[in-house]
Structure 1
Amino acid sequence: MFYREAGQFKTSYAADQQIFPIRQDRVGMALLLAIAYGVVPLIGNDYWFTAIMIPFLILSLAALGLNILTGYAGQLSLGTAGFMAVGAFAAYNFILRIPEMPFLLAFVLAGLTAALVGILFGLPSLRIKGFYLAVATLAAQFFIEWALIKFGWFTNYSPSGVIDAQTMTLFGFALDTPLEKYLLTLTIVSVLALAAKNLMRCETGRAFMAIRDMDVAAEVIGIPMLKTKLLAFAISSFYCGVAGALYAYAYLGTVEPQAFDLNRSFQVLFMIIIGGMGSILGSFLGAAFITLLPILLNVVAHAVFGGAVRTAILSNLELVIFGGLIIFFLAVEPHGLARLWHIAKEKLRLWPFPY
């Protein structure tokens, strides 16, 4: 009743092939963007933008990049944070060393640089897969961290290795307030998310999924392994590189290798596992679960217990509850939160009739 496509007739191929063919999806996406662009800036404050919305959007973009590689193409990777670091340092050096470099162009070039590095470390995927490929990409994580620390050129020979990110500018205007950074991040993430949604519906996305499901059969029907796997690494690394540049400039305000350590790679991997592998929506749901739920638990714990319990005990209790909820959701639905949303839509198609 609420989510039923009966009566929605298509009169052209363009209408049948649009990104959101069902009217409810189009209306829902329009409302979501209206809230993100119109309501959140009005009711939000600097804490909302700096500590909640900006990191959520950036990590959603990184999770989306990993989901393209792991969820859609079936290539397990543990080097996500390394590719994010490549994007962050590439953007810094492009802006530093090329006069009058536009920030948006620097972010695109940073993503392309990360894509080249991703292709280089994606070469082992032609001979190995599964956990062995994960170890190969883990080597990429360690190598990138070592190179950024070892060679001072990347950090402009900073003694500490931590450098202040340049002030972002757009069409000559400085983006120095949390609201402006939030709107820029939201725009970039929205465009790239829609591009990924469209990519997965075309021939390239179908080739990714064919390799994920059975690579031998995909090769038999004519899908080139070399081109397709390296393309998956390139696109995934591009998304992670742009996310790394945004993480350094819109969130941290500094460019440092420590922000892109192995823990960050595991964090992004957990996002797509919890949210749902092979799902654009799952990347956002997983990022929301990982980044927003601890904040909610912290607020609830302090509201319930107040000063009656020591802060250290509350912090440990939050971690215990957070870990328990992760296990619970994975036990209830191993395919992630996106699968729960899909089941809910199927039920709405039949309501109020019996199942």
Structure 2
Amino acid sequence: MFYREAGQFKASYQADSRIFPIRQDQIGFVALMAFLFLVVPFIANQYWLQAVLIPVLIFGLAALGLNILTGYAGQLSLGSAAFMAVGAFGTYNFMLRIDGMPFLVAILLGGLCAAAVGILFGLPSLRIKGFYLAVATLAAQFFIVWVLVKFGWFSNYSSSGVITAQRVNILGIDFRSPEMKYLLTLTVVTVLALLAKNMVRSSTGRKWMAVRDMDVAAEVIGIRLMRTKLQAFAISSFYCGVAGALYAYMYLGTVEPEGFNLDLSFKILFMIIIGGVGSIMGSFIGAAFIVLLPVLLNVAFHGSIGAFVPADLASNMELIIFGSLIIFFLIVEPHGLARLWQLAKEKLRLWPFPH
């Protein structure tokens, strides 16, 4: 009744191939963007902006990059944090060594550096797949972090290895406050997410999905496997590189190799598993789940429940419940939380009639 596309006629192919072809989706997206841009900066406090919303956006962008590679192209990777580190250190060095380098241009160049490294480590995908490819990308995680620690040039020969990120100034506007950092992060993430949404619906995205479903058949019908796989690695690494730059400048405030360790790679992998593999929205739903669930569990155990549970047990129970919920979602809904949203939309289309 409320979510029905009956009567919405498309007079051209362009109208039918829009990112949001249904009018309700267009209204919902515009309303969501208006709320995030115009309302949230005024009603959210510093804690919610700096510790919740900004990490959700950044991790959602990183998960989107991994989802392009794993969910759409079918190439498993465990080196997402390493490509984030390349983007962060690339952005730092471009701003350090080139006077007057704009921050947005530095982020773009840092992402391109991550894309180049992603192509290099994507070469094994031409010969191996599955578990062996995951091991190859895992080697990238350790190798890139080792290079950033071993060669002092990347950290400007800092003795501690921890570098304070430069101040971000765009067109004379200083992005030091949590509100400005949030708006800048939201703008970059929104633009890249819309580009990814449009990309996976194009011929490029169809080639990725053909390779994911059956690479031999894709090659038979004329899809060039080498170009398609390396393109997926490049675009995925670019997204992770941009997310890494935002992670260092908008969230951490420092550029350090230890901030992009293996735990971060696994966290991003869990985001797309929980949110939904092969789903743009699922990347952000998974990021919100991973970021918000520990906060909610922490509040619960240090609130009413914590009065009856010892402190040492409460800290361990948070990890136990967190892992149990992940396993629960994997068993009950292996397609992720995004699939629940799709099912809800399908029921709304037929409501109030029975399905």
TM tier relative to shorter chain: over 0.9
Residue 17 of structure 2 corresponds to 17
1:250-282, Cα deviation, whole Å (9 max, x unpaired):
000000000101110000000001110000011
Aligned AA (1:117) = V
For normalisation by structure 1, the TM-score amounts to 0.98
Give 3-state SS (helix, strand or coil) of 2:284's partner.
helix
* Structure 1 residue 340: Cα displacement: 1.1
1:289-329, Cα deviation, whole Å (9 max, x unpaired):
11111111222233323555443322222222211111111
Mapped contact 2:300–2:306 kept (Cα < 8 A):
no
* Structure 1 residue 152: Cα displacement: 0.3
Residue 329 of structure 2 corresponds to 329
Residue 35 of structure 1 corresponds to 35
Aligned AA (2:128) = I
Alpha-carbon distance in structure 1 between the residues aligned to 2:47 and 2:267: 22
**Which runs of structure 2 are paired with 1:67-216 in the superposition (5 Å)?**
67-216=67-216
Unaligned runs of 5+ in 1: none
Residue 289 of structure 2 corresponds to 289
Unaligned runs of 5+ in 2: none
Alpha-carbon distance in structure 1 between the residues aligned to 2:151 and 2:242: 22
Residue 344 of structure 1 corresponds to 344
Alpha-carbon distance in structure 2 between the residues aligned to 1:257 and 1:307: 39
Give 3-state SS (helix, strand or coil) of 1:153's partner.
helix
Give 3-state SS (helix, strand or coil) of 1:166's partner.
coil
Give 3-state SS (helix, strand or coil) of 1:223's partner.
coil
1:162-190, Cα deviation, whole Å (9 max, x unpaired):
11000111112221111100000000000
Aligned AA (1:14) = Q
Alpha-carbon distance in structure 2 between the residues aligned to 1:36 and 1:313: 37
Alpha-carbon distance in structure 1 between the residues aligned to 2:221 and 2:114: 31
Residue 311 of structure 1 corresponds to 311
- Number of positions where the alignment pairs a residue of Structure 1 with one of Structure 2: 355
* Structure 1 residue 22: Cα displacement: 0.6
Aligned AA (1:5) = E
Give 3-state SS (helix, strand or coil) of 1:196's partner.
helix
**Which runs of structure 2 are paired with 1:56-75 in the superposition (5 Å)?**
56-75=56-75
Alpha-carbon distance in structure 2 between the residues aligned to 1:191 and 1:86: 21
Alpha-carbon distance in structure 1 between the residues aligned to 2:215 and 2:306: 55
Residue 255 of structure 2 corresponds to 255
* Structure 1 residue 338: Cα displacement: 0.7
Alpha-carbon distance in structure 2 between the residues aligned to 1:82 and 1:26: 36
Alpha-carbon distance in structure 2 between the residues aligned to 1:202 and 1:317: 45
Aligned AA (1:289) = F
Alpha-carbon distance in structure 2 between the residues aligned to 1:328 and 1:140: 31
Alpha-carbon distance in structure 2 between the residues aligned to 1:269 and 1:21: 30
**Which runs of structure 2 are paired with 1:259-270 in the superposition (5 Å)?**
259-270=259-270
* Structure 1 residue 17: Cα displacement: 1.3
Aligned AA (2:327) = I
Aligned AA (2:261) = D
Q: Percent identity, aligned pairs only? A: 71
Residue 4 of structure 2 corresponds to 4
Give 3-state SS (helix, strand or coil) of 2:155's partner.
coil
* Structure 1 residue 2: Cα displacement: 2.4
Aligned AA (2:122) = G
1:238 paired with 2:238, answer yes
